[in-house]
Amino acid sequence: MEHPEAGYNLENSPHLRPAFDVDEALLTFSDDIYNGVYSDIPKGNFTDDDVTHLLQVFRTKVWQTYRMWEYYVVDVTATVSAFSAAIKGKYSLSGKYGSDPVHQADYYELLDKNALYNNKQYTRFNLKVDISVALDIFGAPSPLSAVETEDRINLFKSCLDRINVQNYAAYDRDTDTIIKNLFWRINRGPLTEGKLLADNYFTRVTGKDGKKIALANNGWIWAGNPLVNFAGPESRAYFLREVIIWGDCVKLRYGMTPEDSPWLWDHMTKYCEWSAKIFHGLRIDNAHSTPIHVAQHLLDASRRIRPDLYVMAELFTGSSELDEHFVASWGINALIREAMQANDSWDLGRYIHRYGGDPVGSVSRNRNGADSITVQSNSPLSVLVDCTHDNETPQQKSGFDVGSDAWQGMSSSVRS
């Protein structure tokens, strides 16, 4: 509330506006289901068939009202009006685009290639046409009659409609992706007061000045590239609902330098310095979503306080090469590995073999003689634990009922 610039809000990150609209649509739909607006949708304990049905209702009755296609297409009515006002009583043909085109396809290709631009405001009808370029393409070497002018205007409109066809197709594909991702993220449990159909992608707060603020929540992307900022303008992850969201914390917007977010850099630098004064070691949570240049700055500040600081990191990049890149870039002492990340007993054996170190009592022999040394590459040092911080326990992952007779019948030593 005091420093909204430290997060991704709709003013400093306008590219998130379409994603916010998606979030608003889901909030409205969730409230409507809870309030009984849709009598054919239960209020919870959804089966897969229930989810399929409610998403179909969402797509046809809620999604359409938000007119999300406007983020994709040219505003034909407004653009034709501007073009009409510019071409009437005038003529233009700069020669830049060749002689006066003959076929409609020629006009379309010239318009599509040369006159379209994105104004980077991330508003509806963000796709624009440079009218001056359009005049060069659709003008004539001599004054047009009223009929010829009208023909050119109609031709211009038909080309815009043709351009929008492919943009509507892109909108349909993205809508399919959003619906598919929502299917797996819909809360299956009963809707109660405050419990929504889907996790909020934005935290809504009121600033000190009374202004409403929406801040993008943090999260992670399955099999995502940790080197890509999924909240940045180059990513569409929030719009497509690809982020597995943490609804209790917002994503911090550091930018590339301290000048991009002065308070945040200063605040977090002091926090790390204080931590280094108190502790001999630090654990970095969710290290794979921390920008590398930010972590380098903060760890450098920490090590100026305590040069022998021991740094452990929860790092799940899905790639040993990326793991090594993070470790080398930051100077990480050890990575945390978790047995509960294993899919089955075979995978658990692989974890123990890879991260468990040499077994007690094991014997190794130098095969090259007493005076030689075998030099081998090593993976980053890892500390293997059974279960860490906020991840699911074995009981939660297995779905074992702690109240069952089988559980109660176990000996206390086994339960311990």
The residue from 23, 174, 288, 297 that is catalytic is 288
CB burial of residue 247 (10 Å; 0-12, 13-18, 19+): middle
The residue from 151, 176, 285, 401 that is catalytic is 285
Same domain, yes or no: 388 and 263: yes
pLDDT at position 413 is 35
Same domain, yes or no: 164 and 284: no
Same domain, yes or no: 313 and 398: yes
Q: Is residue 411 part of a domain?
A: no
Same domain, yes or no: 245 and 265: no
pLDDT digits (tens, 9 = 90+) for 176-213: 999 999 999 999 888 887 788 999 999 999 988 889 99
Residue 56's contacts (CB-CB under 8 Å, 6 or more residues apart) are none
pLDDT at position 322 is 84
Q: Is residue 96 part of a domain?
A: yes
Q: Is residue 301 part of a domain?
A: yes
Q: How many domains does the chain have?
A: 3
What does pLDDT average to in each consecutive run of 10 residues of the chain (416 residues)?
94 96 95 91 89 96 96 97 82 55 74 89 93 85 80 92 96 97 91 86 91 94 87 95 92 96 98 98 88 95 97 83 87 88 86 79 64 69 82 70 48 35
Q: Is residue 65 part of a domain?
A: no
Q: Is residue 59 part of a domain?
A: no
Q: Are 261 and 254 within 8 A, CB to CB?
A: yes
The residue from 358, 386, 390, 405 that is catalytic is 390
- What letter would DSSP give residue 205? E
Domain closes at, from 228, 250, 272? 250
pLDDT at position 312 is 93
pLDDT at position 403 is 54
User: Phi-psi category of 338—alpha, beta or left, where left has phi over 0 and alpha has psi -120 to 50?
Assistant: beta
pLDDT at position 352 is 86
pLDDT at position 110 is 87
Q: Is residue 57 part of a domain?
A: no
161 labelled catalytic: no
Domain closes at, from 150, 174, 198? 174
Q: How far apart are CA 337 and CA 234, in angstroms?
A: 31
pLDDT at position 401 is 56
pLDDT at position 409 is 43
pLDDT at position 364 is 64
Same domain, yes or no: 305 and 377: yes
Name the residue range of residue 110's domain.
70-174
Residue 16's contacts (CB-CB under 8 Å, 6 or more residues apart) are 8, 10, 122, 216, 231, 238, 239
Same domain, yes or no: 103 and 232: no
Same domain, yes or no: 227 and 346: no
Same domain, yes or no: 226 and 335: no
Q: Is residue 412 part of a domain?
A: no
Kindly report the pTM of this predicted structure: 0.84
Structure-token pair, residue 197: 């159909």
Same domain, yes or no: 325 and 400: yes
Same domain, yes or no: 197 and 153: no
285 labelled catalytic: yes
Helices (H), 221-291: 262-278
Same domain, yes or no: 102 and 232: no
